[in-house]
């Protein structure tokens, strides 16, 4: 009896260990650009100058009235319209993501995690890399949920595709060219520990 019990506890223990391992990337939640800023100040400053950073402003009444009209939209307050929020905020409807401007103001606009994936898991291992000045491979970070944007255009098309009111059908200036857009995301800087 005692032996069975010990066996059972051992199995439960191993299962719990694997359980934790399996959760990892899938359990990743959105944490907001301020958290990334602490370690990636250069990318943050460069991104902050783009229109993505204050993209939420465009949902307010009286802002970009002519552009909205050209796209068939009215001049009204869209800041609580979920149709717009899914593209003008970070992680809308996903774990840890934007819910409303009152509850999650730090996730307004198109932030780092819109392109790089939710960071609660990979930031932990990045912290280790930084502390221990430890060489790492990008694949290890990807297994933690990090997205390398140039590897898959689909990640961009969720927002830049035909669901957007602002496509080249409305104005040629909205034309999507993946290569050009990748360059305009933020300035790129050399990495120290990447192998
Ligand atoms: C969550 C939705 C979303 C995703 C995902 C997304 N974008 Fe965007 N992006 C936007 C919105 C909204 C704007 C417009 C910002 C504004 O003017 O309000 C924009 C604007 C841009 C701009 C113009 C910035 C500027 O300063 O004018 C670039 C470049 C861009 N996106 C590149 C990308 C690339 C490359 C990807 C994929 C790796 C991507 N975006 C993924 C929503 C998204
Ligand atoms: C499927 C994603 C998506 C949805 C839904 C969406 N947008 Fe956008 N919006 C974008 C993208 C992408 C851009 C940037 C287009 C570009 O630069 O090529 C943009 C740009 C804008 C702009 C700036 C246009 C300019 O010329 O500066 C305004 C204003 C805007 N959106 C308002 C809204 C409003 C209001 C709603 C809801 C009715 C909405 N958007 C819904 C993706 C979306
Ligand atoms: C619109 C998409 C987009 C957004 C938003 C974005 N990035 Fe990036 N990021 C990229 C692309 C593209 C690369 C180049 C790597 C690749 O895809 O091959 C990159 C690369 C990086 C790198 C590697 C080093 C470098 O400078 O290239 C870091 C670090 C990084 N991003 C951090 C951030 C942080 C922090 C934020 C938010 C403040 C952010 N990124 C926002 C698209 C984005
Ligand atoms: C505690 C510090 C820390 C935090 C917080 C952090 N990172 Fe990093 N990140 C690092 C370090 C260190 C590296 C490795 C840099 C190097 O090799 O020079 C890295 C690498 C990266 C890379 C490049 C990966 C590759 O292999 O190409 C990206 C992209 C990135 N981080 C994005 C983010 C984003 C987005 C956030 C916020 C959600 C974030 N990081 C939060 C420390 C951090």
- Nearest alpha carbon, ligand 4 atom 38: 119
Ligand minimally distant from the alpha carbon of residue 49: 1
If phi > 0 it is left, if psi is from -120 to 50 it is alpha, else beta; for residue 177 that is beta
Model confidence pLDDT, tens digit, residues 96-117: 999 999 999 999 999 999 999 9
- 92/125 same-domain check: no
Compute CA distances 115 → 150, 181, 185, whole Å. Answer: 10, 12, 9
Domain span including residue 162: 35-48+115-195
- 8 in a domain, yes or no? no
Best residue among 151, 186, 189 to mutate for probing ligand 3's pocket (most ligand atoms within 8 Å of CB) is: 186
Does position 161 have pLDDT exceeding 60, yes or no? Answer: yes
Are 184 and 124 within one domain?
Answer: yes
Residue 163 domain-assigned?
yes
Q: Calculate how far, in angstroms, residue 28's C-alpha sits from the geometric centre of ligand 1.
A: 22
Residue 27 lies in a domain: no
140 contacts 125 by C-beta, under 8 angstroms = yes
The confidence score (pLDDT) of residue 24 equals 64
Q: Contact, 176 vs 57, CB < 8 A? A: no
What's the chain's average pLDDT? Answer: 91
Based on the domain organization, do 191 and 137 belong to the same domain? Answer: yes
Q: What is the pLDDT of residue 137?
A: 96
Quick check: CB of 84 below 6 Å from ligand 2? yes
Tell me the C-alpha distance between 133 and 128, whole Å. Answer: 8
Q: Tell me the whole-structure pTM to 2 decimals.
A: 0.93
To the nearest 10°, report the CA torsion of 153, 25, 34, 131.
-120
Those residues whose C-beta lies under 8 Å from the C-beta of residue 149, and which sit 6 or more positions away, are 115, 116, 155, 156, 182, 185
11-25, 29-43, 142-156: which has the minimum mean pLDDT?
Answer: 11-25
What is the Cα–Cα distance from 98 to 92, expressed in whole angstroms? 5
**Which of 25, 31, 39 for mutating ligand 4's site (highest number of atoms within 8 Å of CB)?**
39
* C-beta of residue 144 within 8 angstroms of C-beta of residue 168: no
Q: Which residues contact 121 (CB under 8 A, 6 or more apart)?
A: 24, 25, 27, 28, 144, 145
Q: Which atom belonging to ligand 4 lies closest to the Cα atom of 118?
A: 38
> What percent of the chain shows pLDDT beyond 70?
88
Q: Is the domain of 186 the same as that of 95?
A: no
Say how many Å lie between the CA of residue 143 and the centre of ligand 1.
Answer: 24
Number of domains in the chain: 2
Using alpha carbons, select from 33, 190, 28, 44 the residue that is nearest to residue 124. Answer: 28
pLDDT digits over 40-98, tens only?
999 999 999 999 999 999 999 999 999 999 999 999 999 999 999 999 999 999 999 99
Ligand 2 centre and the CA of 165: distance in Å? 6
């Amino acid at each position: 009896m005692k032996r069975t019990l010990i066996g059972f506890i051992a199995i439960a223990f191993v299962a719990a260990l694997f359980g934790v391992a399996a959760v990892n990337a899938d359990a990743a939640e959105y944490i907001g650009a301020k958290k990334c800023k602490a370690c990636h100040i250069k990318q943050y400053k460069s991104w902050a100058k783009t229109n993505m950073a204050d993209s939420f402003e465009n949902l307010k009444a009286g802002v970009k009235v002519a552009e909205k009209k050209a796209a068939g939209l009215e001049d009204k307050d869209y800041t609580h319209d979920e149709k717009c929020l899914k593209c003008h905020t970070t992680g809308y409807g996903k774990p840890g993501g934007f819910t409303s401007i009152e509850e999650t103001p730090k996730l307004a606009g198109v932030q780092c995690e819109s392109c790089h994936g939710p960071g609660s898991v990979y930031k932990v291992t990045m912290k280790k890399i930084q502390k221990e000045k430890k060489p790492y491979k990008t694949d290890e970070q990807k297994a933690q949920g990090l997205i390398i944007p140039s590897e898959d255009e689909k990640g961009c098309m969720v927002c830049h595709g035909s669901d957007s009111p602002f496509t080249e059908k409305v104005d040629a200036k909205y034309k999507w060219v993946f290569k050009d857009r990748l360059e305009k995301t933020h300035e790129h800087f050399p990495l120290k520990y990447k192998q």
